[in-house]
Amino acid sequence: GVMEKLGLGPEVLLRENPKLIYARLTGFGQTGKYAKSAGHDINYLALSGVLSKLGRKDENPYAPINLLADFAGGGVMCALGIVVALYERTKSGKGQVIDASMVEGVAYLSSFLWKSQNMGFWNRPRGENLLDGGAPYYEIYKTADGKFMAVGAIEPQFYEQLVKGLGLNSDELPSQSSFSDWPEMKKKFASIFAQKTQAEWCSIFDGTDACVTPVLSFDDVATHQHNKQRSSFIKNDQEEISPRPAPLLSRTPAVPSLKRDPFIGEHTEEILLEYGFTKQEIIKLCSEKVIEISKSKASL
């Protein structure tokens, strides 16, 4: 209802421009019991059912920061909805309103979890399955220098290379798919990973198909050889590191700005003047807290 309070609801704007794509991104959606309730990523994740699948065995469910509902189920799915609506408009010539609910977005994003329930991926309690920390070959292990290695050797041929890199013989180990042996195998793998540093494990597994990679910190990620070769991370003029826009397009790749991020409201006045607002109108909008203006301060 925020836009309606400003007199800018979809009914008003679509009357002005029937081709307009009007996206409404909220946690619970435009209708339903919780439509007008406050919430955050963890609440949307909980209502979607996905949160119940996240976490370690015998522990409470665990929310992974606010990536899943806010950004993936919310921002990305809403952006995809806009793209779909724009494509549909090329045929109908009409705009429409997009009701993007973060609950539904993250639920739809997790369709794999729903569709694979009868395939053996998720038929055990939380934390005891193939992809949620139950399998010894899909796990994170601590190294001798307190860092970590990520292991994702699911396929038998990859698992064989993992076992070989760890200095073990698969003929002397339980079957890879023996659920009852997974806890002991995790202990065995953990004790071996703890004997070498992250760099030493990288020297063993780099160039193999064991699906073993270092868990990089934000401080290390830009200097890793693979990321450097692809220029996956960029520095702005303040020497701040951030990811380069992805995915890469072959003909029209994104050209990232190397300037610092703008402050909220830094260019509000400039843009409104450009669009024909007067100084007096801008001052009025600011005093009524419709807009926010924040000028950057000189660094002396």
SS (H, E, C) 198-257: HHHHHHHHCCCCCCEEECCCCCCHHHCHHHHHHCCEEECCCCCEEECCCCCCCCCCCCCC
Q: What is the DSSP pairing of strand 21-26 with strand 96-101?
A: parallel
In the CATH scheme, what is the homologous superfamily, with its name and number, of domain 2-119?
A: Crotonobetainyl-coa:carnitine coa-transferase; domain 1 (3.40.50.10540)
96: phi then psi, degrees, rounded to nearest 5: -165, 170
Q: What is the pLDDT of residue 298?
A: 42
What integer is the mean pLDDT of 14-30? Answer: 97
Query: Does CATH place domain 138-215 in 3.30.1540.10?
Result: yes
Q: Active site includes 145?
A: no
Q: What is the pLDDT of residue 13?
A: 96
Q: What is the pLDDT of residues 68-110, one digit of tens each?
A: 999 999 999 999 999 999 999 999 999 999 999 999 999 999 9
User: pLDDT higher for 297 or 180?
Assistant: 180
Q: Is the pLDDT of residue 1 over 90?
A: no
Q: How far apart are CA 141 and CA 151, in angstroms?
A: 8
Q: How far apart are CA 191 and CA 146, in angstroms?
A: 13
Q: Are 154 and 137 in contact (CB under 8 A)?
A: yes
Q: Active site includes 40?
A: yes
Question: Which member of 41, 58, 70, 206 is catalytic?
Answer: 70
Q: What is the pLDDT of residues 111-159, one digit of tens each?
A: 999 999 888 778 889 999 999 999 999 999 999 999 999 999 999 999 9
Q: What is the pLDDT of residue 300?
A: 35
**pLDDT category of residue 297 using cuts at 50, 70 and 90:** low
Structure-block tokens of residue 96? 């429409």
pTM reported for the whole predicted model: 0.88
**Domain residue spans of the chain:** 2-119, 138-215, 262-299
Question: Which member of 40, 145, 209, 226 is catalytic?
Answer: 40
